[in-house]
Structure 1
Amino acid sequence: MSKVLVLGGTSWLGGQIAHHAVMRGHDVTCLARGESGKTPSAVTFVHGDRDNPGAYDKVIDRRWDMVIDVSRQPGHVRSALDVLGKTSSHWTFVSTGSVYADQSGPLTERSPLLEPLAGDTASPETYGEGKVACEEAVRTHPHHLVIRVGLIGGPGDRSDRLGYYASRFALAQDEQVLVPDVATQPMQVIDVRDLAQWIVKLAESRVTGIVHGAGERTIVGDLLTMSAEAAGFEGDQVAASEDWLRARDVEEWMGPRSLPLWLPASHLGMGLMDDTRALEHGLERRSYAEMLADTLVYERDLGLDRERKAGLSRQDELDLIAELRS
């Protein structure tokens, strides 16, 4: 049994990492503010606000076999390494594909990075630069692993992205659904459960270096078809061009009044992340059909007609379809 410290562990991916570490027989502690949710059962929760100097006081007196950090703030990562680095045998940091300077095409672990953020606190606009700075700090640990993750999906997704279409198809049934006219756009989504379990396995094996954690390559059109099949959808998909959508203030990718999975040309690389190294290190991914079916169960539990963090309201969507068809 290894002693595992998860810095986080109450949010979506962090919680899944803690859960899988417990399932694999480890003694798991999560240090977090606890504002994003509860830790899984059998996990020791330690309250700690990493903005405060004494955040690590309750975990500093133990030697950790594995530390897994999911932070996006350089100051948090630097302070954790300063306090815990020398008493931790292996350090895993969960980064992102957003660290790359040019995300318009295929991405490998050797692709050039953005300039690292100089300060301690990243804003949403400097998310990628912040993660680069985090990686820079993590490289000071002699046994470190950086996992650059692409789009994550599956049950529990708080961004509301992947589940939008399965949910909308289920709500619409035999009516029309608006989709972006980007059927051939590349896309990759990895199930949070597969990602979390793999991260724990890599940490157990003391793997070091940099590796992508991305889904199997597919295209948006196929994801939409599989989402419709999962929902039993019998209506029509109404495709709107990118220019038409932008002219009506519909956003790409995520956020309110958006159409998820639609990427601007500058970010198509998020669907073209090389997974060669990940597969060599044993990444196993469930099928998209299984992930979408499980996601739809989660969406139904929340309510198909709820207000979402990503996507269109049903009435807004119907108004746009009417305008497009007029």
Structure 2
Amino acid sequence: MAATRRDHLKLGAGALAALAMSGAAAHAAERKPRKLRILILGGTGFIGPHEVRYALSRGHEVTIFNRGRQKEDWPGPVEELLGDRNTGDLKSLEGREWDVCIDNPTTLPFWVRDAAKVLKGKVKHYVFISTISVYEKNDIPADETAAVAAYKGADPMAETAQTLAKDAGLYGQLKAVSEAEARRQFGEPATTVIRPGLIVGPGDETDRFTYWLVRLANPGGRWGADVAAPGDGTDPVQFVDARDLAEWVVRMAEQRTAGTFNGAGPARPMTTKAFLDGVAAGVPATPKLTWIATPFLRAQKVNAWSDMPVWIPGQGETMGFHRRSIAAALRAGLTYRPLPVTAGDTLAWFKTLPADRQAKLRSGLTPERETALLAAWKA
């Protein structure tokens, strides 16, 4: 029988932590994996540090490559190579060999092309972290075989971070081109493409997930008693904890699993109402939710994903966005922490940030705008 929100509230932090560790314990009980030499391009962003720490815990030898702008305290020896893919500075990678390369930050196709000039024949397995946004349409539920967005520019290899910043619509197109370039350069049998959905958890600087934790916890009484919630609670949501994603990526490298996979979750379909109940259980809180119809939100110019984070209307042209098939990922061993654990851990991390950062959420409604929205809805 599935646990209810009341059950989660009764569990307490210790029991929830034990529940969260059940999947990790299962993997720890497996036969110790063969030691790998792992190159992680990036390594200091959102999922990279989780990959590094998990790989170290599995006994692997880890090298990271980046510009050296962020420093981390690692629980073991990590080799750090410096370079800049924007300028083509990959000299520190030359003359080296690794068992697997995990490419986290690539958005621009020329990054894959240039990496291949140095790494082709020097790595046995290439794992490319893509995005669920590569798909051409989101109007129906679909799996990895659905058509991806076609690049509409003149030369994808000429695109830069500057052009991408000017046209956000290029993001999915360029990720799709990058996927194709990865397969072309490294060969399909040696290439894994992972398309994550919304990535959440400790370290997420977008606040898309964190908004709901802070809003439901309502620190300092910044918001009113009523919580504006999108739609009628039945729209689906998909997301994945960065730690679950990172650990799965490392296990995919250990198994040399090739192919393309939608890296989203949870394991079973979840509605917006169940999502907010799970968040409330982890914060913890007992919010008073006021569900506001989607047409009314549109009329009030309240945008899905930004003003109402995580949520996307489950009808019309976005009906399939949060209904992507994750069957292949589940078969390949993707596991999930309970949502209340992700919520509690993320809020605890957020509270370690400076006070001025906590006061300025980067997603979601401001208290003033939510108050006005609720007043208009009730009127």
| TM-score normalised by structure 2 residue count | 0.79
Contact kept? 1:3, 1:65, Cα under 8 Å: yes
Taking a change above 3 Å as real, the CA distance of residues 226 and 243 of structure 1, as seen in their structure-2 partners, is: same
Structure 2 CA distance for aligned equivalents of residues 163 and 116 of structure 1: 32
Q: Name which of 232, 239, 243 aligns with 1:193.
A: 243
- How far did residue 23 of structure 1 move? 2.0
Structure 2 CA distance for aligned equivalents of residues 301 and 318 of structure 1: 28
Taking a change above 3 Å as real, the CA distance of residues 248 and 174 of structure 1, as seen in their structure-2 partners, is: closer
Contact kept? 1:174, 1:233, Cα under 8 Å: no
- How far did residue 305 of structure 1 move? 5.4
Q: Name which of 184, 201, 215 aligns with 1:154.
A: 201
- 2:63 alignment partner, SS class: strand
Structure 2 CA distance for aligned equivalents of residues 40 and 128 of structure 1: 33
Query: Are 1:80 and 2:80 matched, yes or no?
Result: no
Question: 1:297: which partner in 2?
Answer: 348
Contact kept? 2:47, 2:246, Cα under 8 Å: yes
Q: Name which of 75, 92, 96 aligns with 2:127.
A: 92
Question: 1:107: which partner in 2?
Answer: 142
Query: Are 1:38 and 2:71 matched, yes or no?
Result: yes
Structure 2 CA distance for aligned equivalents of residues 231 and 175 of structure 1: 16
Question: 2:8: which partner in 1?
Answer: none
Contact kept? 1:152, 1:190, Cα under 8 Å: yes
Taking a change above 3 Å as real, the CA distance of residues 51 and 174 of structure 1, as seen in their structure-2 partners, is: closer
- How far did residue 164 of structure 1 move? 1.2
Equivalent residue runs for 1:165-314 within 5 Å = 165-171=212-218, 172=221, 175-216=225-266, 217-254=269-306, 258-264=307-313, 265-302=316-353, 306-314=359-367
Question: 1:128: which partner in 2?
Answer: 172
| Code of the aligned partner of 1:321 | L
- How far did residue 40 of structure 1 move? 4.8
Contact kept? 1:226, 1:289, Cα under 8 Å: yes
- 2:225 alignment partner, SS class: coil
Equivalent residue runs for 1:51-70 within 5 Å = 51-53=86-88, 55-70=89-104
1:75-95 per-residue CA deviation (whole Å, 9 max, x = no partner) reads 111111122122111100011
Contact kept? 2:233, 2:291, Cα under 8 Å: no
- How far did residue 109 of structure 1 move? 1.2
- How far did residue 213 of structure 1 move? 1.1
Taking a change above 3 Å as real, the CA distance of residues 231 and 247 of structure 1, as seen in their structure-2 partners, is: same
Structure 1 CA distance for aligned equivalents of residues 151 and 261 of structure 2: 19
Structure 2 CA distance for aligned equivalents of residues 160 and 110 of structure 1: 31
The number of residues matched between the two structures is 321
Taking a change above 3 Å as real, the CA distance of residues 232 and 290 of structure 1, as seen in their structure-2 partners, is: closer
| TM-score normalised by structure 1 residue count | 0.92
Taking a change above 3 Å as real, the CA distance of residues 17 and 163 of structure 1, as seen in their structure-2 partners, is: same
| Code of the aligned partner of 1:187 | V
Q: Which deviates more, 113-122 or 87-96?
A: 113-122
- How far did residue 101 of structure 1 move? 1.1
Q: Which deviates more, 191-200 or 230-239?
A: 230-239
Contact kept? 2:151, 2:170, Cα under 8 Å: no
- How far did residue 39 of structure 1 move? 3.9
Contact kept? 2:244, 2:337, Cα under 8 Å: yes
Structure 2 CA distance for aligned equivalents of residues 305 and 175 of structure 1: 20
- How far did residue 182 of structure 1 move? 4.2
Taking a change above 3 Å as real, the CA distance of residues 83 and 182 of structure 1, as seen in their structure-2 partners, is: farther
Contact kept? 2:350, 2:358, Cα under 8 Å: no
1:187-233 per-residue CA deviation (whole Å, 9 max, x = no partner) reads 11111101101101101111111112111221111101222233343
